Structure 1
Amino acid sequence: MAIQVPTELLDGCVLGVLSRQDYYGYALTQEVRQHLPISESTLYPVLRRLKKNGWLTTYDEAYQGRNRRYYRLTRTGQQQLATIQTEWTHFKTAMSGLLEGNQDE
């Protein structure tokens, strides 16, 4: 995919994945990669920013002698996801109208 994903949509993608369950960083990257071409070096700054905004929280769990940092959606993160989902619906409708040549959209 050659289209760059805007920051707010990438935020929404991460928040959407985390709305289903908690993930540690690598597993979250793999989950998002199933749908978008994204690298860990792109995702980790997004996670830090989302945590700084209060939309995510973290906790560590031991795994094979090491700690994995898990990310969890907060209540304000859920609210932000709902906002992004609403904005996405409007954006998607407008873009479909333009790209498909529909004048009524």
Structure 2
Amino acid sequence: MAIQISSEILEGVVLSALKYDDLYGYALTQQVQSVFDISESTIYPVLRRLKKNKYLTTYDQPYQGRNRRYYQLTDLGRQRLNTIVNEWHDFYQKVNQALEDDNKDD
């Protein structure tokens, strides 16, 4: 897809992926990449920003002799996700309206 995904939408996608389960970085990256063609190096700055803004917390858990860093949605993160979803619905409706109105002139 040639349309670029905005950082706010990407934040929403990451927050949404964590809505029901905590995920470690690689699993989270794989989940997002199953929908959008983005690099792993794109996800980690988003995770750091979300953590800095207190939308996520992290904890480490041992796995096969190594630690996995898990990301967990906070209450503030759930509020942020709801805001992004509401803004997306509004934006989606406006874009569809504009595109449909444009097509009526054909």
Q: TM-score, normalised by structure 1?
A: 0.93
Paired residue type of 2:31 = E
Tell me the alpha carbon deviations over residues 29-49 of structure 1, each in whole angstroms, 9 at most, x when there is no partner: 100111111111000000000
Gaps of 5+ in 1: none
The Cα RMSD (Å) is 1.3
Gaps of 5+ in 2: none
Tell me the alpha carbon deviations over residues 66-89 of structure 1, each in whole angstroms, 9 at most, x when there is no partner: 000000000000000010111010
Q: CA deviation at 1:20?
A: 1.8
Rg comparison, structure with higher value: 2
Say whether residues 1:39 and 2:39 are aligned partners.
yes
Aligned counterparts of 1:15 and 1:79: Cα–Cα separation in 2: 10
Residues 29 and 38 in structure 1, CA contact (< 8 A), matched pair in contact too: no
Could you tell me which residue of structure 1 aligns to residue 91 of structure 2? 91
Residues 56 and 77 in structure 1, CA contact (< 8 A), matched pair in contact too: yes
Give the share of equivalent positions with the same residue, in percent. 58
Aligned counterparts of 1:99 and 1:31: Cα–Cα separation in 2: 30
Say whether residues 1:49 and 2:49 are aligned partners.
yes
Aligned counterparts of 1:9 and 1:53: Cα–Cα separation in 2: 16
Tell me the alpha carbon deviations over residues 16-70 of structure 1, each in whole angstroms, 9 at most, x when there is no partner: 0100211101100100111111111000000000000000000000000000000
Aligned counterparts of 1:6 and 1:69: Cα–Cα separation in 2: 25
Could you tell me which residue of structure 1 aligns to residue 27 of structure 2? 27
Q: CA deviation at 1:102?
A: 6.0
Alignment: residue pair count: 103
Aligned counterparts of 1:99 and 1:35: Cα–Cα separation in 2: 24
Aligned counterparts of 2:19 and 2:99: Cα–Cα separation in 1: 30
